[in-house]
Amino acid sequence: MEHLKRKPLFNPEGDTDVRKRRMINGNTTNLNDFNNMKYTWVSDWYRQAMNNFWVPEEINLGTDVKDYPMLSPGERRAYDKILSFLVFLDSLQTANLPAVGEYITANEINLCLSIQTFQEAVHSQSYSYMLDTICEPHTRNQVLYQWKDDERLLLRNTFIGDLYNEFQKDKSPFTFAKTVVANFILEGIYFYSGFMFFYNLGRNHKMPGSAQEIRYINRDENTHLWLFCNMILELKKEEPELFTQERVNIYREMIREGCRQEIEWGHYAIGDQVPGLTKEMITDYIQYLGNLRCSSIGFEPVYEGHEKEPESMSWVSQYSNANMIKTDFFEARSTAYAKSSALVDDL
């Protein structure tokens, strides 16, 4: 199989028998069929993603407006850099997910990807809302386009963008699988380590609105991770030749390299300049995340001895785990569309 078959737009001769449905290279009718699904987890996923609907402006950033100028230079520098990186990641996701969906021949998966794409757009907009509220227009643009002045940020963005670009040029099943793994790394390592910085500010009683925005985003990212994890597990069943030991080692190497870059970036953007965090805590947390992601898709860990959540970082889950509603997280939002309280835990 040299090239993937592109999903047809209209295909009356497509297979309606769910047993014939495939993630890639299937013969889809492309009809949005919510009644007949091959992948049973999709209905739970869809329900959860729909229940998570939120609007960035719901969150009050009044305290953040006062806090932002009072942050120490190290904190403000990290805030700007990490926000800039997140804006890039969510923008890239918004643009790339439809490109992935073009080659997925299971319509129910494409439905999920459409919702995810919408959510990534909301995330990008929430960063703009944060910047709009807390900074002057000049600072705002400096944050948004920081990769123009910061070579290290540009380097990171280039590495991530190039991985996605590879699939733009080469539509082979293996390149597709690498893109899906790259997506999984982006969602499950880069985002989570960025979120952790905002939660640290939150636990130090700084920028509470920003931390709250991030919690909503994090809740969506949980579902994205769930989606991509399941996509990988289905691909493993349907396309075992994409998961030979040799190829799995390539994917694991991608995860290890993603972690290495994230650690380097964390040391550069946060370093030892932010109260509550140290370089060592950053390293431990990211190595743990790398192992956690590996184990959820059945891969051997990439950092031996870092399988357990580091004790110094146990506070992160109090923010990132939306099931722990002992804070006023959900009380702060309008209940009109708060249909869901349960959340599938971090994978």
Q: Report the alpha-carbon distance of residue 219 to residue 221 in Å, rounded.
A: 5
145 flagged as catalytic: no
Shortest CB 144 distance to Fe ion, Å: 16
**AA identity, residue 118:** F
156 near Fe ion, judged by CB under 5 A: no
224 near Fe ion, judged by CB under 5 A: yes
Shortest CB 249 distance to Fe ion, Å: 26
Residue closer to Fe ion (CB basis): 213 or 284: 213
User: Binding pattern to Fe ion, positions 180-219, x when CB under 5 A?
Assistant: -------x--------------------------------
Residue closer to Fe ion (CB basis): 67 or 262: 262
**AA identity, residue 318:** Q
Q: Report the alpha-carbon distance of residue 344 to residue 54 in Å, rounded.
A: 17
Return all residues near 146 (Cβ < 8 A) that are at least 6 apart.
Answer: 80, 81, 84, 153
Among 64, 67, 75, 120, binds Fe ion (CB under 5 A): 120
Residue closer to Fe ion (CB basis): 176 or 216: 216
Whether the CB-CB separation of 286 and 262 falls below 8 Å is answered with yes
Q: How many residues bind Fe ion (CB under 5 A)?
A: 6
Q: Report the alpha-carbon distance of residue 46 to residue 276 in Å, rounded.
A: 37
* Helical residues (DSSP H) of 102-190, grouped into ranges: 107-134, 137-144, 151-169, 173-185
90 near Fe ion, judged by CB under 5 A: yes
Specify the stretch interacting with Fe ion by CB under 5 A; choose among 75-83, 114-122, 252-260, 339-347: 114-122
Catalytic residue among 39, 68, 103, 127: 127
What's the N-to-C CA distance of the chain in angstroms? 32
**Tokens of residue 346, six digits:** 């971090």
Shortest CB 115 distance to Fe ion, Å: 11
Among 7, 22, 81, 123, binds Fe ion (CB under 5 A): 123
- b/e 322-345 (16+ beta carbons within 10 angstroms → b): beeeeeebeeebeeeeeebeebbe
Looking at the annotation, which residues are catalytic?
127
What residues line the site for Fe ion (CB under 5 A)? 90, 120, 123, 187, 221, 224
